[in-house]
Amino acid sequence: MKNTVAIQGIQGSFHHIVADNYFANSLEVLPCETFDALVSQLLEGKTDIAVMAIENSIAGSIIPNYALIDTNDLQIVGEYYLDIQHHLMALEGQSISDIKEVHSHPMALLQCKEFFKMHPHIKLVEARDTADVARKISEENITGIGAIASEKASGLFGLPIVAESIQTIKHNETRFVIIQKINPEKSEDESKNKASLKFELSSKRGSLATVLNVMSDCRLNLTKIQSLPIIATPWKYSFFVDVTFEAYSDFEKAKSLLNLMAENFKVLGVYKNARL
């Protein structure tokens, strides 16, 4: 079995691009309709590894995905940054004036709304998946309808790009994480220089500052911090924090201190920093 990687969406989706780039095309993708389904594939052992979007430069953290990783005790074993570019595509020979409707995911339609303001003859219709519309147009030879999808989808389904990079905000960088059920090698690999942590603190004055001082003393650099109120416990917060470090021993030291200082301290993953 195996040699697959679970992705959210179908072939041609942005998750597919990340899987191919990260694993140098060595794994076959296992399409999953939702992030819940993707996690189920991992938990049920249908695959060993999955790619999951975790934050983007427009919308910030995808909190439900952090929760999926945390509650199912999954491990982050890698990360990948992708600049999301939405292209308008249609069947060969179709020009923008031939396109009467564009079907796509509500989020993609939203991100491209300025472009469509310039083309008011196009009716926007919500669909479940961006790449799936491209597949359908191609397979069923549908004229008059356009899809918003990736360059990969354009290539896979043979749909020429009618308009390039039509998203309103030109830089929409999304961070994806590579996740597994368990971290097979818990080795202190020197190439691992980034970690994702989670802990809880009360809103007592200075409690977060104290924790960050320890991290700083241990020579960890903070690259992300996100607080979330714990609904069941007023005045208590959970924090998702990413840190980078030069020496793994520094991280080990911080880990043992944080274990003592913060409640429910947990390492969500230790992996190689994709930003150099």
Q: Contact letters (x/-) for a second copy, 37-66, by CB under 8 A?
A: --------------------xxxxx-xx--
**Minimum CB distance to a second copy smaller for 145 or for 162:** 145
Q: Identify the sign of the CA torsion 128, 132, 138, 140.
A: negative
Q: Which residues of 88-101 are buried (b: 16+ CB within 10 A; e: fewer)?
A: bbbbeebeeeebee
| The one among 164, 229, 247, 264 contacting a second copy by CB under 8 A | 229
Task: Please count the CA atoms within 13 angstroms of the CA of 205 that sit on its side-chain side.
Answer: 0
| The one among 93, 117, 140, 234 contacting a second copy by CB under 8 A | 234
**Minimum CB distance to a second copy smaller for 156 or for 220:** 220
Q: Catalytic pick from 174, 239, 245, 251? A: 174
Distance CA 41, CA 157 (A): 26
Pull the structure tokens for residue 135.
Answer: 């597949």
| The one among 1, 24, 231, 260 contacting a second copy by CB under 8 A | 231
Number of residues that bind a second copy (CB under 8 A): 38
Q: Does 247 interact with a second copy (rule: CB under 8 A)? A: no
Cα dist from 65 to 29, 61, 72, 157, whole Å: 19, 9, 11, 29
Catalytic site includes residue 233:
no
Footprint on residues 187-206 left by a second copy (CB under 8 A): 203-206
Whole-number minimum distance, CB 55 to a second copy, in Å?
9
Footprint on residues 107-166 left by a second copy (CB under 8 A): 126
Q: Catalytic pick from 35, 115, 176, 199? A: 176
| The one among 43, 118, 225, 247 contacting a second copy by CB under 8 A | 225
Whole-number minimum distance, CB 173 to a second copy, in Å?
6
DSSP strand pairing (60-61 vs 75-83): unpaired
Catalytic site includes residue 71:
no
| The one among 100, 222, 247, 263 contacting a second copy by CB under 8 A | 222
Q: Which residues are catalytic?
A: 174, 176
The residues binding a second copy (CB under 8 A) are 57-61, 63-64, 106, 126, 171, 173, 203-206, 208-209, 212-213, 215-216, 219-229, 231-232, 234, 237, 239, 275
